[in-house]
With several copies, the nearest count.
Chain A
Amino acid sequence: MEKKVFERTKGLTEILMRYCPGCGHGVVHRLVGEVMEELGITNRTIGIAPVGCSVFADEYFNCDMIQPAHGRGPAVATGIKRVRPDCIVFSYQGDGDLASIGMAETIHAAARGERITIIFVNNAIYGMTGGQMAPTTLLGMKSTTTPFGRDPRVAGYPIKVCELLATLEAPAYLARVSVHKPANVLKAKKAIKKAFQVQMNDQGFSLVEILSQCPTDWFVTPLQGIDFVEKMMIPFFPLGEYKTIEGKKETVKPEPKKVLETV
């Protein structure tokens, strides 16, 4: 008898996705949907859509969703999680959203160790607004606001978010993956699952950075897009786990006030 061996996850709604041909957002959406379904948490998950191409994520994920201001996903997630610790909370964000305007919120939610999961789609460009430089745009890369290629003297250097956050105490899981090839898609899904599990186990803050294609704003075809991820992005943004719960030591809570009383 014929069996469906790959079917659309119930973690996503039936609504058609508005992303461009070859865009990585769709794959990431599917993976998050599958993970929610497999972990059986779709009903008690609250997702946060960013301002960015994936603003529409609030229509695509089959869970309660909220759409807040640009860059403030981690702050909104904090508010939600503190009020509903029984719910699973994820914030889906692009690179502009998370690492440019939202940098402070990202770092502080991580530093606080909020029990939230961030799905961070790094496509090295601002998609929705039409291809401006992102904080992760590679050096030399053209965008509509770096028409001669990103010059570090003028526009600075791309930021490596996982590396940055890994210097903080609180994050429990940080990983960088990509979705440009089947093998990578499988690894990406594992990382996303782990990130949700870390939250479910109350272990701390988790974030998965996903290198993703934006053929439209890179001005390439979808196929060239996956090549760009492979040849240009991965060498600069190395894939891997940057922090895992295993490596995390128990927090010692010193009491400076006592010291003060005795000095």
Chain B
Amino acid sequence: MYQGVIMSGFGGQGIISAGILLAYAGMTDGKYVTFFPAYGAEMRGGTANCSVVISSEEIASPVVAYPDTLVVMNEPSLARFEASVRKGGLLLINSSLVAGKPKRDDVKVQYIQANEIAEKMGTTKIANMVMIGAYSKLTGAISFEGLKKSLQKVFPRARQEIIDLDSEALKKGMEAV
């Protein structure tokens, strides 16, 4: 089993922490994992993206040139990464923020109204968790338990309510697909 994932969106959408969560959950599940952020100048705004690899074998390169899954959190990200997705791969689109439609017909496309779902739960800040939940369900690359256990590790200073909310959002994401 090998999953190369790219997640991409605006700075501030929690792309990086979602990616770390993914990697942590993979490790918790006993897989090999790597996480690599496309770090930029640290200013807010602009786009943020990261690459995660989850694999049952040792990972050579952590570079994900051709993702098996692309998680798209904003419009520009679709344009930038769509072409790179592996044939037969998965395109996971936050349709709350992405109006455009992908041109590829050789990949699986899944839309999620992540912001709407999150907003209903009280804050759009957890839209990233919704997307991760959906990813976990669709690919089976990571388990919900792995994700849940990892939340506390990734956000060590977060209060329990927040963790619970995140966990809830993961679930809603799973349910949405």
- On whether A and B touch (CB less than 8 Å), the answer reads yes
Using CB atoms and an 8 Å cutoff, list the residues of chain A in contact with chain B: 18-21, 23, 53, 55, 127-131, 216-217
Whether B42 pairs with A128 at a CB distance below 8 angstroms is yes
Closest to B39 in A: A130
CA distance A127 to B41 in the complex (A): 9
* Residues in B whose Cβ lies below 8 Å from that of A127: 42-43
CB distance from B12 to the nearest CB of A (A): 10
For chain B residues 33-72, which have a beta carbon within 8 Å of chain A? 41-46
A217 contacts which chain B residues (CB < 8 A)? 42
A21 contacts B41, CB within 8 Å? no
- Report yes or no: B45 in contact with A18, Cβ–Cβ below 8 A: yes
Q: Is the CB of B44 within 8 A of A129?
A: no
| C-alpha gap A53/B46 in the complex (Å) | 14
Q: Do A20 and B41 touch across chains, with their CB atoms under 8 A apart?
A: no
Q: Are A216 and B44 in contact (CB under 8 A)?
A: yes
The smallest C-beta distance from A121 to any residue of chain B, in angstroms, reads 14
B42 nearest in chain A by CB position: A130
Interface magnitude class on chain B? under 10
Q: Among residues 112 to 142 in chain B, which have CB atoms less than 8 Å away from a CB atom of chain A? A: none
B45 with A53: CB separation less than 8 A: no
Which residue of the partner chain, among A20, A128, A131, contacts B45 with CB atoms under 8 Å? A20
The answer to whether B42 and A18 touch across the interface, beta carbons within 8 angstroms, is no
Chain B residues engaging chain A, CB cutoff 8 angstroms? 41-46
**Which residues of A are found within 8 Å of B44, using beta-carbon distances?**
20-21, 216
List 14 additional contacts besides A18-B41, A53-B41; criterion CB under 8 Å. Answer: A18-B45, A18-B46, A19-B43, A20-B43, A20-B44, A21-B45, A23-B43, A53-B43, A128-B41, A129-B42, A131-B42, A216-B42, A216-B44, A217-B42
Across-interface contacts of B45 in A (CB, < 8 A) = 18, 20-21
Query: In the complex, A55 Cα to B40 Cα: how many Å?
Result: 14
List, in ascending order, chain B residues with CB within 8 A of A130's CB.
42
Please indicate the chain B residues that have their CB under 8 angstroms from the CB of A53 in the complex: 41, 43
Q: Which residue of A lies closest to B45 (CB)?
A: A20
Cα A55 to Cα B42 with chains together (Å): 13
Residue of B nearest to A21 (CB): B44
Find the B residue at minimum CB distance from A19: B43
- What are 15 residue pairs bridging A and B, where the CB atoms are less than 8 Å apart in the complex? A18-B41, A18-B43, A18-B46, A20-B43, A20-B44, A21-B44, A53-B43, A127-B43, A128-B41, A128-B43, A129-B42, A130-B42, A131-B42, A216-B44, A217-B42
Shortest A196–chain B CB gap in Å is 28
Closest Cβ–Cβ distance, residue A201 to chain B (whole Å): 37
Q: For B42, what are the chain A residues with a Cβ–Cβ distance below 8 Å? A: 127-131, 216-217
Chain B: CB-nearest residue to A56 = B41
Chain A residues with CB below 8 A from B41, complex form = 18, 53, 55, 128
Shortest distance in angstroms between B158's beta carbon and chain A's nearest beta carbon? 16
Closest-CB distance, A15 to chain B (whole angstroms): 14
Give Cα A262–Cα B165 distance, bound, in whole angstroms: 27
Of B41, B43, B46, most buried by chain A (CB within 10 Å of CB) is B43
